């Protein structure tokens, strides 16, 4: 089979053959699936081949090697490019897996998913997210290198991004911070093809992207994405300096080699569902092998790069073994790479019993600072609100350009980028926490959702959790945000009712390794709950705080979370004193409570009518309500006033709860 190049100056025939192989695998897989995106894989075949075969430091036999380079396909719709590269490089993706592209149960889903496919570093698809994740990975590399030195941590993060990525705000926020910090081991390859789904990018996009990145403080180049020599020169230049991140704008033709090349049609299947069109593309590529069969020459292009990576890993392992002979280095390495936790996290926390009233955001800060010395993987900050959110680690330095030894990070007013970067930090093995006001969780929601989808242990610290923000008014008073967060599968939402429950929440955050957690914390001080069993009960997501007068036979159950727990406690106590039999229940983490066995849930909520109290919308507690139960919360937005006045105005007082309870009784 002849292998004529598609480009006027394609480099070696081997590179041309590998690029054609990627194109054919793509059109065959999309043809078999009946759906898919051919544009990016066909348009980026040469540049991806050069990257994977000559520059990317990786070992397909050890996909999780800690000091490997990371490759992030931010434009996840072009997933067949990545699957082809992994298949040809020798990762555990077979021809059969390629043939099952987008099929139920396959390891080649429509968009790459971390944990599903070897060699996939993050879940991408929502544009801009991969760019943010890549910034987080590059930042993690610098943080770890500052602790262990370049002998053990010395790798790059490569991101392939599209026009759509460049339009998304999360990418802009993330690359702005990357430029500010000078993350010189981050390289973004910009697939500059000038076409989006609706048509030419010029319909809505006319800015000079390289000039924008120059303004962000990046090193910028322009190359011909179809010319291996041009791509090679650009990648080589990116290796020569590490004082700032690198953007390589690669001019490409979307769908190159297909009849729809250069048009918006290439954003779909490019007509591959039509037998004649599919056959015409294969003929144009001079391809006569059966579907999903690969010439050995194409594999050889990637084999050499994989062998270099394997040798680099072996040499790194020797250096690691030598370094771990030092007990201090060994202990730190095990703590930071193995996710090890102290045996008794709870024993490290402050004892809040008997303390004066304290805001849960303040209690959270005390917990975080008590835990940090024993947890070197903890790294965090906030979106310009570290004091308000309580997310500063006392005694730890701030991360700055050229100074990555610290553990505190100024994200600036970049909520969306902050969350995407945090996901990248977690994917690299750190335990990030990030903070902002709860109302701004809406800005972060796509990244929070992806943290849950990827099962990454990110701690989202959301303070100012209700209308009791007060004078700032309804623009800053969250009423629907708790409900929205609880709707995300796999995200645990904690709204602790006092400092003791806050301490339990932080233990739960850190003991959880398979998903993210959101903490919703108060601005105002809350009384510290009294009694035994609070810690054990809170650890199960919910418990009986005040037992009914007639044990085992409640007439009514008052259920609260956060600041409303004290209302439930006071009302139940008053009603029991009047001779009624009323129980108060605290539910600091509804999802965790609902995961308990049925017997435990029934023992807490009983069968009596329920009055659920929460300073938010009813959607957030709908899982708890049955016919005949009542909800006391917000039906609209808040107002600007002192939080005590707001409590009276909206009925979040013991007196109002007693009125409703007596109506139900």
What is the rounded distance in angstroms from the CA atom of residue 227 to the CA atom of residue 256? 13
For residue 410, the cross-strand partners are 382
Q: Which distant-in-sequence residues (6+ apart) come within 8 Å of 627 by Cβ?
A: none
Q: Is the dihedral of CA 631, 632, 633, 638 positive or negative?
A: positive
Cβ distance 113 to 123 under 8 Å? Answer: yes
CA distance 124 to 131: 9
For residues 205 and 197, the answer to whether their CB atoms sit within 8 Å is no
Of 481, 501, 658, the residue nearest 575 (C-alpha): 658
The set of residues, in sequence order, having a beta carbon less than 8 Å from that of 476 and lying 6+ positions away, is: 437, 439, 464, 469
Nearest to 5, CA basis, from 191, 192, 227, 225: 227
Q: Residue 496 in contact with residue 463, Cβ under 8 Å?
A: no
Task: Give the 3-state secondary structure of residue 561.
Answer: coil
Is there a catalytic annotation at residue 548?
no
Task: Write b or e for each residue in 509-534: b if 16 or more Cβ atoms lie within 10 A of its Cβ, otherwise e.
Answer: bbeeeebbbbbbbbbbbbbbbeeeeb
Residue 187 CA to residue 517 CA, distance in Å, equals 30
- Of 210, 205, 190, 196, nearest to 252 by C-alpha is 190
Catalytic residue among 168, 415, 570, 614: 415
Q: Give DSSP secondary structure letters for 434-488.
A: EEEEGGGHHHHHHHHHHHHHTT---EEEEES-SGGG-TT-GGG--SSHHHHHHTS
**In the numeric block, which tokens belong to residue 295?**
């010439």
| Close Cβ partners of 355 (under 8 Å, ≥ 6 residues apart) | 499, 528
CA distance 88 to 126: 26
CB 203 within 8 A of CB 171: no
What's the CA gap between 543 and 536, in Å, rounded?
A: 9
**180: part of which helix (H) or strand (E)?**
helix 169-181
Per-residue DSSP letter, 547: -
558, 571 Cβ separation under 8 angstroms = yes
Q: For residue 233, how far is the Cα from the chain centroid?
A: 33
Tokens of 488: 């995300």
CA–CA gap between residue 181 and residue 384 (Å, rounded): 16
3-state secondary structure of 186: strand
**What is the C-alpha to C-alpha distance for residues 51 and 235, in angstroms, rounded to an integer?**
8
- Return the active site residues: 415
């Amino acid at each position: 089979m002849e292998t004529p190049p598609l480009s006027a100056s394609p480099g070696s025939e081997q590179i041309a053959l590998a690029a054609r192989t990627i194109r054919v695998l793509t059109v065959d897989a999309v043809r078999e699936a009946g759906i898919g995106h051919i544009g990016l894989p066909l348009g980026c075949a040469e540049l991806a081949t050069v990257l994977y075969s000559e520059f990317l430091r990786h070992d397909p036999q050890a996909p999780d090697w800690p000091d490997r380079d990371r490759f992030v396909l931010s434009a996840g719709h072009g997933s067949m490019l990545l699957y082809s590269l992994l298949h040809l490089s020798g990762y555990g993706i077979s021809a059969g897996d390629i043939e099952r592209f987008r099929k139920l149960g396959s390891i080649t889903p429509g968009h790459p998913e971390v944990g599903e496919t070897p060699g996939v570093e993050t879940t991408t698809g929502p544009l801009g997210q991969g760019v943010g994740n890549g910034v987080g990975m590059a930042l993690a590399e610098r943080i770890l290198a500052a602790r262990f030195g370049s002998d053990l941590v010395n790798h790059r993060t490569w991101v392939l991004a599209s026009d759509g990525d460049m339009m998304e705000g999360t990418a802009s926020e993330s690359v702005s911070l990357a430029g500010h910090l000078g993350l010189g081991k981050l390289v973004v390859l910009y697939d500059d093809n000038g076409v989006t789904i609706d048509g030419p990018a010029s319909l809505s996009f006319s800015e000079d992207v390289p000039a924008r990145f120059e303004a962000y403080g990046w090193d910028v180049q322009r190359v011909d994405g179809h010319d291996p020599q041009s791509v090679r020169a650009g990648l080589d230049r990116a290796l020569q300096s590490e004082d700032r991140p690198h953007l390589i704008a690669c001019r490409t033709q979307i769908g190159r080699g297909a009849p729809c090349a250069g048009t918006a049609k290439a954003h779909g299947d490019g007509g591959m569902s039509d037998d004649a069109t599919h056959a015409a593309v294969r003929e144009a590529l001079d391809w006569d092998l059966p579907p999903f069969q690969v010439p050995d020459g194409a594999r050889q292009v990637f084999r050499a790069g994989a062998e270099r990576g394997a040798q680099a890993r072996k040499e790194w392992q020797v250096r690691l073994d030598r370094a771990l002979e030092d007990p201090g280095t060994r202990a730190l390495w095990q703590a930071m790479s193995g996710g090890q936790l102290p045996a008794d996290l709870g024993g490290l926390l402050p004892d809040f019993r008997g303390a004066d009233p304290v805001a849960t955001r303040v209690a959270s800060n005390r917990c975080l600072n008590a835990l940090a010395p024993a947890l070197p993987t903890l790294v965090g900050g906030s979106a310009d609100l570290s004091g308000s959110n309580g997310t500063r680690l006392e005694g730890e330095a701030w991360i700055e350009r050229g100074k990555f030894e610290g553990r505190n990070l100024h994200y600036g007013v970049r909520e969306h980028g902050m969350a995407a970067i945090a996901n990248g930090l977690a994917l690299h093995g750190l335990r990030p926490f990030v903070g902002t006001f709860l109302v701004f969780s809406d800005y972060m929601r796509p990244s929070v959702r992806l943290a849950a989808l990827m099962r990454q242990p990110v701690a989202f610290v959301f303070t100012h959790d209700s209308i009791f923000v007060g004078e700032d008014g309804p623009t800053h008073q969250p009423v629907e945000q708790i409900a929205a967060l609880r709707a995300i599968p796999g995200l645990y939402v904690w709204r602790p009712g006092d400092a003791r429950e806050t301490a339990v929440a932080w233990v739960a955050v850190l003991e959880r390794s398979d998903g993210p957690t959101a903490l919703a914390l108060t601005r105002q001080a809350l009384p510290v709950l009294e009694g035994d069993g609070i810690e054990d009960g809170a650890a199960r997501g919910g418990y009986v705080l005040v037992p009914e007068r007639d044990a085992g036979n409640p007439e009514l159950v008052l259920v609260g979370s956060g600041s409303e727990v004290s209302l439930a406690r006071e009302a139940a106590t008053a009603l029991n004193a009047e001779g009624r039999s009323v129980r108060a229940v605290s539910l600091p983490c509804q999802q965790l409570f609902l995961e308990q066995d049925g017997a435990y849930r029934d023992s807490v909520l009983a069968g009596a009518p329920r009055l659920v109290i929460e300073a938010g919308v009813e959607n957030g507690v709908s899982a708890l309500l049955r016919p005949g139960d009542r909800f006391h919360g917000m039906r609209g937005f808040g107002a600007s006033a002192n939080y005590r006045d707001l409590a009276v105005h909206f009925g979040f007082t013991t007196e109002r709860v007693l009125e409703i309870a007596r109506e139900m009784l």
